[in-house]
Structure 1
Amino acid sequence: MTARPALEIAVTSPAGARIARENGADRVELCTALELGGLTPSAALVEAVAAEGLPVQVLIRCRPGDFVHDAEEIALMVAEVRSAIASGAAGVVIGALTADGALDTVAVARLAEAARTAGRPVEVTLHRAIDQSADPVATAALLPSLGLTRVLTSGGAPAAADGRAAIAAMVTAAPGVQVMAGGGVRPADVPALASAGVASVHLSAKARAPRRLGGTWIPLGAGGASAEQDTHFVTDPEVVAQARRALESVG
Structure 2
Amino acid sequence: MSPRPALEIAVTSPAGARAARENGADRVELCTALELGGLTPSAGLVEAVAAEGLPVQVLVRCRPGDFVHDAEELALMAAEVRSVIASGAAGVVIGALTADGALDVPAVARLAEAARASGRPVEVTLHRAVDQSADPVATAALLPSLGLTRVLTSGGAPAAAEGLATIAAMAAAAPEVEVMAGGGVRLADIPALVSAGVASVHLSAKARAPRRPGSAWVPLGAGGTSAEQDTHFVTDPGVVARARRALDLAG
Which TM bucket (shorter chain)?
A: over 0.9
Shift of the alpha carbon at 1:187?
1.4
Cα deviation 1:171-208 (Å, max 9, x = unaligned): 00112010000001111111110111111000000000
Shift of the alpha carbon at 1:214?
2.4
Q: Does 1:97 align with 2:108?
A: no
- Point out where structure 2 has 5 or more consecutive residues left out of the alignment: none
Shift of the alpha carbon at 1:223?
2.4
Residue 219 of structure 1 aligns with which residue?
219
Q: Does 1:193 align with 2:193?
A: yes
Cα deviation 1:17-44 (Å, max 9, x = unaligned): 0000000000000000000000000000
For 1:126 and 1:54, how far apart are their aligned partners in 2? 20
Query: SS of the counterpart of 2:250?
Result: coil
Query: SS of the counterpart of 1:207?
Result: strand
Shift of the alpha carbon at 1:236?
0.3
Q: Does 1:40 align with 2:40?
A: yes
Aligned length: 251
For 1:196 and 1:232, how far apart are their aligned partners in 2? 33
Cα deviation 1:29-80 (Å, max 9, x = unaligned): 0000000000000000000000000000000000001100000000000000
Q: Does 1:169 align with 2:169?
A: yes
For 1:51 and 1:84, how far apart are their aligned partners in 2? 13
Letter in 2 for 1:180: M
Query: SS of the counterpart of 1:29?
Result: strand
CA contact (8 A) 2:10 2:205 kept: yes
Report the more deviating stretch, 8-17 or 136-145: 136-145
| 1:83-232 matched pairs, under 5 angstroms | 83-212=83-212, 214-232=214-232
For 1:155 and 1:223, how far apart are their aligned partners in 2? 31
Residue 27 of structure 1 aligns with which residue?
27
Residue 75 of structure 1 aligns with which residue?
75
Residue 249 of structure 2 aligns with which residue?
249
Query: SS of the counterpart of 1:228?
Result: coil
Query: SS of the counterpart of 2:2?
Result: coil
Residue 4 of structure 1 aligns with which residue?
4
Cα deviation 1:95-149 (Å, max 9, x = unaligned): 0001111110010000000011111000000000000011111111111111100
Letter in 2 for 1:182: G
For 1:223 and 1:145, how far apart are their aligned partners in 2? 44
For 2:184 and 2:172, how far apart are their aligned partners in 1? 23
For 1:39 and 1:64, how far apart are their aligned partners in 2? 7
Report the more deviating stretch, 204-213 or 232-241: 204-213
For 1:157 and 1:79, how far apart are their aligned partners in 2? 31
For 1:164 and 1:39, how far apart are their aligned partners in 2? 27
Letter in 1 for 2:27: R
Shift of the alpha carbon at 1:211?
1.1
**Using a 3 Å threshold, how does the CA distance of structure 1 residues 213 and 71 change in structure 2: closer, same or farther?**
farther
For 2:62 and 2:68, how far apart are their aligned partners in 1? 11
CA contact (8 A) 2:5 2:248 kept: no
Residue 235 of structure 2 aligns with which residue?
235
TM-score, with length taken from structure 2 = 0.98
Query: SS of the counterpart of 1:249?
Result: helix
CA contact (8 A) 2:178 2:198 kept: yes
Residue 14 of structure 2 aligns with which residue?
14
CA contact (8 A) 1:4 1:250 kept: no
- Point out where structure 1 has 5 or more consecutive residues left out of the alignment: none
